Amino acid sequence: MTKKASAPASSPSESQEFDPISFSQQMGEILERLQPLFAHYIQKQGNEDILMRSFSPIEFQTMVMDYWGNVLQRPQKLIDINLEYAQNMYLLWQESMRKVLGEDVADIAPADKGDRRFRDPAWQESFAFDFLRQSYLLTSKWLQKAVRDADGLPQKERDKLDFYTRLFVDALAPTNFAMTNPEVLRETMSSGGQNLLRGLENLVEDLERGDGGLEISKTKYEAFKVGKNLATTPGYVVYENDLMQLIQYTPSTPDVYKVPLLILPPWINKYYILDLRPDNSFVKWAVDQGYTVFVISWVNPDKKLASKSFEDYMTEGLIDALDQIETQTGEKKTNVIGYCIGGTLLATALAYMTAHKQDKRIASATFLTTLIDFHRAGDLSIFVDDDYLKMIDEKMDRTGYLEGSDLRQTFSLLRANDLIWSFVINNYMLGKEPFPFDLLYWNDDSTNMPAEMHRFYLRNMYRDNKLKRKGGIKFGSTSIDVSTIKVPSYFISTKEDHIAPWTSTYEGMMMLGGQKRFVLAASGHVAGVINPPAAKKYHYWTNEEIDDREHPDQWLQKAHQHDGSWWVDWEKWVRHTSGKMTLARNPKKGKLKPIEPAPGRYVLKKAE
């Protein structure tokens, strides 16, 4: 890495006089380093980045023209929206004048719950910043409402236009500009502009870390190391093949339930999301409850594994793991948890095993934020059209896999305010270092997707929704029909999930047979799942009655809210399929010879 320019001496909160000569000298040194990096960045983005290429100005212009064509055919709806916007802006001006006179006034345009952009007190206390905040919120909601109400457009086109509109209004938030962000202005004045120099220094480091691509630092990466302070639950790798390592964890209780527990994590990310630190590790918690826990640790694939298919993940992953667990424990049944795409694989495998009369090997199935019906698969689905798939294919044909960074950037766009703009403000405008945060370290520990598997997944699930159709997917001569699944199933979804919307996961659950339990947790795709009971955070909803004639919202209206973690509810449920207690199983004394201590080699492999 290039040697740093002279670092400003002041701390972020230290007040100092502005020294124009020193400032100019430091700025010149940083810009000298930035010049070749920016050139490399522009070249790299133009040639390689899928997200930049997937946004076609021509396509966007066509969508806008279609939108206006639709509006001109039905102008009254837009006229009404514009009148409402004008009335609200006039009302905002009136209320702002009252505020200038010292009166207490209510917000005309309050921020949405969970919107953390306007937390600084100045956004409410200052007349100018208060007016700027509310006028921005009114305008952004007006734009989005105008797009969403264009019901004459095809749904897919409206969703895509809505997504791009949301990106646009998020990018133009006044918080994202130094001159309209009160916190940045205060820091600039108190530090004599040193925050801007530190911010440029951070920008240089992120460009260097990304080898010409902008890799925004989201946490203090040196604060974490897998196997040292992440993924530390004791255990051993007891089996491995080309695709996965099977980890068995050391028991922490003298007795355990007879039926073992297998966790099938997503391979879009690494398994240790379920084994972060001891105080938020689902794996450790399950071990402490008396379960013999096994976890699949997927390999981070390179070009040699380009031909690995979705079927391979089923046979060499889940089914092979069940074989090894039976050898190791002597038990013919296993409780299985599938997370995200791991849950989709679990549903597919259960249907496959049912067709071969092998489904009794799974005592129960738990689905964490899992899509089975991809009809309404969230914002991610708007990218998956024929043009996008063609670009993905072109890139994977060259490398043999989809790079983990492409997926990470896509997921960041789905939550741009939290995963992009908040760090732009903190790192580049305030000149601060990001905080150590285990979830964000894991989020940036990317994994690649084998070309063959990813093609199958995007086409058959996201684009064509074939898992919903009986026999829509076949492996050899075996037709996949998820309605044949009869094992007890537990679905946990999260209310603010943008990747697997809870209403869609609920509809997917209805496709399965057998006894079902659906639980809805607060928060999002990751934070809502990784919620240990000891933290006493969030809440969850339960409703014992599941009626396939009702909409998911009707289920929620009748549901009961419980404080705390869904983990406790799940453990009570899975206990019924876990058998009696038996002596704890030491992974070093089973029939499988331990290969190496957990977390194993596969999880340490970085994405290429």
Q: At 16, list the tokens.
A: 């100092």
pLDDT in tens, 120-179: 999 999 989 999 999 999 999 998 888 888 777 777 788 888 888 888 899 999 999 999
Nearest C-alpha neighbor of 322 from the set 332, 312, 337 = 332
pLDDT confidence tier of residue 101, bands split at 50, 70 and 90 = confident
Average pLDDT over residues 183-194: 92
Backbone angles phi, psi at 10, to 5 degrees: -80, 155
Average pLDDT over residues 443-471: 94
Is pLDDT larger for residue 537 or for residue 68? 537
Average pLDDT over residues 48-58: 49
Average pLDDT over residues 426-442: 94
pLDDT confidence tier of residue 323, bands split at 50, 70 and 90 = very high
Backbone angles phi, psi at 541, to 5 degrees: -120, 140
Q: At 562, list the tokens.
A: 């419980």
| Average model confidence (pLDDT) across the chain | 88
Q: What is residue 102's three-state secondary structure?
A: coil
**Residues 426, 434 contacting (CB under 8 angstroms):** yes
**Whole-model pTM above 0.85?**
yes
Residue 486, burial from CB neighbour count under 10 angstroms (0-12, 13-18, 19+): middle
3-state secondary structure string across 393-440: HHHHHHHCEECHHHHHHHHHHHCHHHHHHHHHHHHHHCCCCCCCCHHH
Tell me which range, 79-93, 195-209, 302-316, is most confidently predicted by mean pLDDT: 302-316
Backbone angles phi, psi at 411, to 5 degrees: -65, -35
Which residue ranges make up each domain of the chain? 20-209, 235-604
Residue 340 annotated in active site: yes
Name the least confident of 245-254, 407-416, 509-518, 566-575.
Answer: 407-416
pLDDT in tens, 217-233: 999 999 999 999 999 99
Catalytic residue among 340, 425, 485, 592: 340
- The reported pLDDT for the residue numbered 61 is 62
Q: How far apart are CA 298 and CA 296, in angstroms?
A: 6
Residues 6+ away with beta carbon under 8 Å from 480? 348, 351, 352, 355, 467, 471, 472, 473, 474
Burial 142-153 (b: 16+ CB within 10 A, else e): bbeebbeebeeb
Q: Is the pLDDT of residue 457 over 80?
A: yes
Residues 6+ away with beta carbon under 8 Å from 500? 340, 369, 370, 371, 377, 378, 493, 525
Region of 103 (left: φ > 0; alpha: ψ -120 to 50; beta: rest) is beta
Fold classified for 235-604 = Rossmann fold (3.40.50)
Q: Is the pLDDT of residue 189 over 50?
A: yes
Label the pairing between strands 401-402 and 362-368.
unpaired
